[in-house]
């Protein structure tokens, strides 16, 4: 089978298509369908790896080849940069440029070359770090100047949640040879954890279970284990707890029962400021032990969910 070279109209169409892909890109590229660029099978001399992230892709359509090249660009990045959150990687890809393309007149395959200068990548990462630090400062301010203890705790949790991404950004910038200075408004992780512990220690909660003595005992154990059982005449909060049980069943040689633990957290004005529910499952070889196992699940669930979080929720 003989493949004919493209006619003038085909060449013009390819050139126009490439121009559309390269709108806004600098520098403007030269297109020559008769000469295979060196970068197709080797490294690009014009965009060395020492200064650029480079991606190459090929496909039967030029836009698909460019898309594959952008994917290959991400794969070419060192681990600290390539492991950034998807939103950061998307921004990096947006900054990348299609700087050259070529079509093999025999196979009809299109090839695309996409590059991103290290300096451009560093600029994106610095912008992301600046935005993250601004958000963290706001969280810290809200956690230290607010009046609602639960909201203060939530804001401090939010501030701590930003720190892994911040560490990753700093490491990625370091990989690119960029020095960064510490933001004086952003606390260290130890400072945040210390303040969170202080906030948590100021909380105390009284249980309310509407006369269910077994449930009341389990809730008291859970609150006590989490460190929030009130010993004052008037607690900061009241924890309304209820337990819906499915009824006992016999399954695979054991007594089994499902349950749903529901709680509401009320402030001193009896306003609901938090609520949650958790599925429970208890099982025992002896029927008389099933109630005990269910109450153990209640206590353990409250301990786990309340510890360091105080439900981790608000009424909003």
DSSP characters over 232-247: SSS-SEEEEEEEEE--
Owner of token pair 């206590």: 299
Residue 114 sits in the same domain as residue 38: yes
> How far is the C-alpha of 138 from the C-alpha of 185, rounded, in Å?
9
Of 77, 105, 121, which residue is a domain's last?
A: 121
**What integer pLDDT is reported at residue 274 of this predicted model?**
87
Whether the bond between 181 and the residue before it is cis, its omega within 30 degrees of 0, is no
**What integer pLDDT is reported at residue 308 of this predicted model?**
62
Residue 222 sits in the same domain as residue 255: yes
CATH number at residue 209: 3.40.50.10610
**What integer pLDDT is reported at residue 231 of this predicted model?**
85
Residue 303 sits in the same domain as residue 223: yes
**What integer pLDDT is reported at residue 200 of this predicted model?**
83
Residue 181 sits in the same domain as residue 135: yes
Residue 63 lies in a domain: yes
17-36: burial string, b at 16+ Cβ within 10 Å, e else: bbeebbeebeeebebeeeee
Residue 221 lies in a domain: yes
Residues forming beta bridges with residue 111, ordered by sequence position = 58, 102
Of 87, 121, 155, which residue is a domain's last?
A: 121
Range(s) of the domain holding residue 153? 123-201
Residue 172 lies in a domain: yes
**What integer pLDDT is reported at residue 309 of this predicted model?**
67
**What integer pLDDT is reported at residue 95 of this predicted model?**
93
Give the count of domains, the chain: 3
**What integer pLDDT is reported at residue 134 of this predicted model?**
95
DSSP at 46: S
CATH number at residue 15: 3.10.28.20
Residue 3 lies in a domain: no
Q: Are 315 and 275 in contact (CB under 8 A)?
A: yes
Residue 105 sits in the same domain as residue 141: no
Token digits of residue 221: 């154990």
What global pTM score does this model have?
Answer: 0.70
Residue 2 lies in a domain: no
Residue 13 sits in the same domain as residue 103: yes
pLDDT in tens, the chain (316 residues): 444 444 444 443 444 444 444 433 433 334 556 789 999 999 999 999 999 999 999 999 999 999 999 999 999 899 999 889 888 999 999 999 999 999 998 899 999 999 999 999 999 999 999 999 999 999 999 999 988 888 898 899 899 999 999 999 999 999 999 988 888 889 999 999 999 888 888 888 999 999 999 999 999 999 999 888 998 888 989 999 999 999 999 998 999 999 999 999 999 899 998 899 999 999 999 999 999 999 999 999 999 988 766 665 544 4
**What integer pLDDT is reported at residue 250 of this predicted model?**
93
The CA-atom distances, in angstroms, between 162 and each of 110, 218, 310 are 42, 35, 20
Residue 287 lies in a domain: yes
């Amino acid at each position: 089978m003989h493949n004919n070279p493209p006619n003038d109209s085909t060449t013009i169409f390819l050139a126009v298509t490439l121009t559309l892909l390269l709108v806004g890109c600098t520098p403007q590229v030269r297109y020559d369908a008769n000469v295979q660029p060196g970068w197709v099978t080797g490294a690009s001399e014009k965009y060395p790896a020492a200064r650029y992230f480079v991606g190459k892709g090929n496909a039967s359509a030029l836009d698909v080849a460019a898309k594959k090249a952008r994917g290959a660009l991400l794969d070419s990045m060192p681990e600290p940069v390539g492991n950034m959150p998807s939103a950061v990687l998307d921004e990096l890809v947006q900054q990348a440029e299609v700087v050259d393309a070529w079509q093999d007149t025999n196979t009809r395959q299109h090839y695309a070359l996409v590059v991103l200068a290290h300096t451009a990548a560093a600029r994106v990462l610095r912008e992301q770090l600046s935005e993250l630090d601004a958000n963290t400062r706001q969280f810290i301010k809200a956690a230290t100047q607010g009046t609602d203890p639960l909201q203060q705790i939530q804001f401090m949790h939010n501030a701590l949640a930003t720190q892994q991404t911040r560490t990753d950004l700093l490491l990625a910038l370091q990989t690119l040879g960029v020095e960064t200075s510490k933001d004086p408004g952003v606390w260290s992780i130890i400072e945040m954890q210390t303040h969170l512990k202080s906030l948590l220690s100021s909380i105390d909660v009284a249980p309310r279970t509407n006369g269910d003595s077994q449930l009341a005992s389990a809730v008291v154990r859970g609150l006590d284990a989490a460190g929030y059982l009130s010993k004052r005449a008037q607690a900061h909060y009241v924890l309304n707890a209820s337990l819906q049980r499915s009824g006992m069943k016999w399954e695979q040689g054991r007594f089994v029962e499902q349950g749903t633990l529901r709680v509401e957290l009320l402030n001193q004005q009896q306003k609901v400021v938090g609520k949650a529910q958790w599925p429970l499952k208890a099982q025992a070889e002896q029927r008389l032990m099933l109630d005990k196992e269910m109450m153990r699940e209640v206590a353990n669930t409250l301990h786990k969910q309340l510890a360091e979080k105080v439900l981790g929720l608000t009424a909003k």
